[in-house]
Amino acid sequence: MLDHPQFTQLRKNLHQHPELSHQERQTAQRILEVFEKFAADEVHTQLGGHGVAFVFNGKQPGPSTLIRCELDALPIQEQNTFAHRSVTDGVSHKCGHDGHMAIITALGATLATRRPVSGRVILCFQPAEETGAGAIDMVNDAKFNALKPDYAFALHNYPGLKLGSVAVRAGTFNCASRGIIIKLKGKTSHAAHPEDGVSPATAMCQIIEQLNQLPQQLAAQGVKDKLWVTVIHARLGEVAFGTAPGEAVVMATLRSETNQAMDTLVEMTQAFSRHYAEQAGLEIEFSFADVFQASVNSQEGCDRVVEACRNTSTEFTLMEEPMRWSEDFGQFTAVARQGAMFALGAGVDTPQLHNPDYDFADQLIPIGHDLFLDLIKQINHFE
């Protein structure tokens, strides 16, 4: 029987003490201390940074099932006034990772007394999900070779979806996204003699206009995947009325349903940006930030989540389209043979993710626990 109050208290404690991506040292230590009493067969630390993983072995050979949650919080000032509000200024758990950790810790408590029959179960606490770097770093860590799973599953709480219900689909579950930074360099001059310099002003405007038109242009060329481009920042020179600018920067978020469509977005953006830069006699430089691959669910992974919903009498919906927001869990389903991420409804009338007044719904802890436990039962079995 799941001790719900115990894990609710753990969740609130984690909420009070959030840490940003790549800084989750104390959060990982708290998880390690709680898991000491669960007597996992293997404990792996410092995976891709501050990541930790706990392995529970079955008595017989069989597949490896990995269940993932996230350690990190966000650089958002909390506006809530409840007792478990964040004690760290400017940092808070506004994505529900505290709740996800509580669910997986509860699963560890169950596995401590109920080992799988075959294979092994890996409970994975991943760092730096919010930057898109954590899963890449963890999967590419040489220590992860010993943990390579056959199945990988994760959930994400989702405001706007009925409390406790599940949404899932085969294929792309979360969109690919990345920030692109385009730097243009010309030559400054006196504002009285702009002809003596090389201004990036025209090229900057052309690039912004082309970025806004890019999804429609690619659709007209026959690209069927949905695409989104959002210009988020632009800067031309400095505020100096005596100077004609010589440098500019344009930043945009590229988003697509598939990794292949993302490759097309990047190639097209770089091509027309170079063209405008060359026309204007400018140097150009590209860089990227917050790179997320599409998170792709296998058909079997989706089917097993649906079966878990049926076995636990959990209401579920098969989504027609993927979530637009991004998640780096796709790194795990890329290396596993099968797997899926699913959304667990946090309630229709609740603040959205990343809002300063958001808080995880503790009622989801036993629901998430039971869904993951059923997935383990399907794959690794219990006596």
Q: Please give the backbone phi and psi of residue 67, each rounded to the nearest 5 degrees, phi first.
A: -115, 125
Q: Specify whether the CB–CB gap between 68 and 126 falls below 8 A.
A: yes
Distance CA 80, CA 353 (A): 14
Distance CA 36, CA 370 (A): 22
What distance, in Å, lies between the first and last C-alpha atoms of the chain?
16
Strand 60-70 relative to strand 118-126, pairing: parallel
Strand 151-158 relative to strand 338-345, pairing: parallel
3-state secondary structure 133-169: CHHHHHHHCHHHHHHCCCEEEEEEEECCCCCCCEEEC
Q: Specify whether the CB–CB gap between 137 and 128 falls below 8 A.
A: yes
Q: DSSP state, 20?
A: B
Q: Which residues contact 88 (CB under 8 A, 6 or more apart)?
A: 17, 18, 19
The SS3 call for residue 362 is: coil
Side-chain half-sphere of 308: how many Cα atoms within 13 Å? 29
Q: Specify whether the CB–CB gap between 136 and 324 falls below 8 A.
A: no
Residues listed for the chain? 383
Is 17 a known ligand-binding residue? no
CA distance readout (Å), 1 to 11, 101, 110, 114, 334:
18, 19, 8, 12, 34
Nearest to 204 by CA among 231, 181, 234: 234
Any bridge partners for residue 57, and if so which? Answer: 120
Distance CA 101, CA 30 (A): 11
Q: Specify whether the CB–CB gap between 168 and 318 falls below 8 A.
A: yes
Q: Token pair of 349, please? A: 């009338």
Distance CA 174, CA 129 (A): 13
Is 354 a known ligand-binding residue? yes
Q: Which residues are annotated as a binding site for Mn(2+)?
A: 95, 97, 130, 156, 354
Q: Which residues are annotated as a binding site?
A: 95, 97, 130, 156, 354
